[in-house]
């Protein structure tokens, strides 16, 4: 994947990062994603396709591309998705074109996807993926957050809580684990992970040029 310039590093060329955030539903990954997109430069959201009905607060094309199951299956079967999975009874997938566009331009991309999608991206692009699993501080708080969000039916909330028991053990597959107790602290921890990963030597081929100029 091509290199980009990064304002924080004297415009030293570096490779784009695929930042994968996963968690059980309600642990706070959409909230942390939103804070990252609002506060950190040079990162954009991968907008997923889903067959889930749109929530009142969501905008088509911004939070998700809402499609019928038929349309989703057509896209999946024509290889337009880099990964996909069934989660809580709905289909979700990452469109290929925006990812390839961002990577070709050397921009970082944020993925709010489940552990099945995270695994597929890690299998395909291990060195470009940085993965973070967000855990809730307790199951009682997870339930409260899903209730307070008030975006899903009681049945959908029960289903999400039951799925959390299957999802939580997948923290083991991730590079980093953040417990989202205090939101501000959790956000700063994810931000710190991104900053450190951007500074990794092996992502910064531009250091050779930088050194040459430095020593001239």
Residues of this chain that bind ligand 5GP (CB under 6 A): 25, 48, 52, 83, 85, 87-88, 92-94, 112-114, 116-117
Cα separations (Å) of 153 from 1, 59, 199? Answer: 42, 19, 43
Q: How far is the CB of 29 from ligand 5GP (least distance, A)?
A: 6
**Please, is 209 exposed, middle or buried when counting C-beta atoms within 10 Å of its C-beta (0-12, 13-18, 19+)?**
exposed
Rounded distance, CA 189 to CA 191, Å?
A: 5
Minimum distance from CB of 93 to ligand 5GP (Å)?
Answer: 5
Name the binder of 14 from ligand ADP, ligand 5GP, none, CB < 5-8 A by kind: none
| Cα atoms in the Cβ-side hemisphere of radius 13 Å centred on 55 | 11
Q: Pick from ligand ADP, ligand 5GP, none: which does 87 bind, CB < 5 to 8 A by kind?
A: ligand 5GP
Q: Which residue is nearest to ligand 5GP (CB)?
A: 117
Which residue's CB is nearer to ligand 5GP, number 25 or number 131? 25
Torsion on CA atoms 177, 181, 185, 187, rounded to nearest 10: 60
DSSP state of 173: G
Residue with tokens 């997923």: 48
For ligand ADP, the binding residues (CB under 6 A) are: 23, 25-31, 145, 148-149, 180, 182-183, 186
Q: Which is nearer to ligand ADP, 29 or 203 (CB)?
A: 29
CB of 122 vs ligand ADP, minimal distance in Å: 19
Pairing verdict, β 18-22 and 90-95? unpaired
- Residue 163's binding partner, choosing from ligand ADP, ligand 5GP, none, with beta-carbon cut-off 5 to 8 A by kind? none
CB of 113 to ligand 5GP, least distance (A): 4
């Amino acid at each position: 994947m091509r290199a980009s310039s990064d304002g924080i590093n004297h415009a030293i060329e570096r490779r784009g990062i695929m930042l994968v955030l996963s968690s059980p539903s309600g642990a706070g990954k959409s909230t942390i994603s939103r804070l990252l997109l609002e506060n950190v430069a040079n990162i954009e959201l991968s907008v997923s396709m889903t067959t889930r009905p749109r929530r009142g607060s969501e905008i088509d094309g911004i939070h998700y591309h809402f499609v019928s199951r038929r349309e989703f299956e057509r896209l999946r079967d024509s290889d337009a998705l880099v990964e996909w999975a069934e989660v809580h009874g709905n289909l979700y997938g990452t469109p290929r074109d925006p990812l390839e566009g961002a990577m070709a331009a050397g921009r970082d991309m944020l993925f709010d996807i489940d552990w099945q999608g995270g695994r597929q991206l890690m299998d395909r692009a291990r060195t470009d993926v940085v993965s973070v699993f967000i855990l809730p501080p307790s199951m009682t708080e997870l339930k409260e957050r899903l209730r307070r969000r008030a975006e899903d039916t009681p049945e959908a909330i029960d289903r999400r809580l039951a799925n959390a028991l299957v999802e939580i053990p997948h923290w083991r597959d991730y590079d980093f684990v953040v417990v989202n107790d205090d939101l501000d602290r959790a956000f700063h921890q994810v931000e710190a992970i991104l900053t450190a990963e951007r500074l990794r030597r092996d992502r910064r081929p531009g250091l050779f040029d930088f050194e040459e100029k430095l020593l001239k």
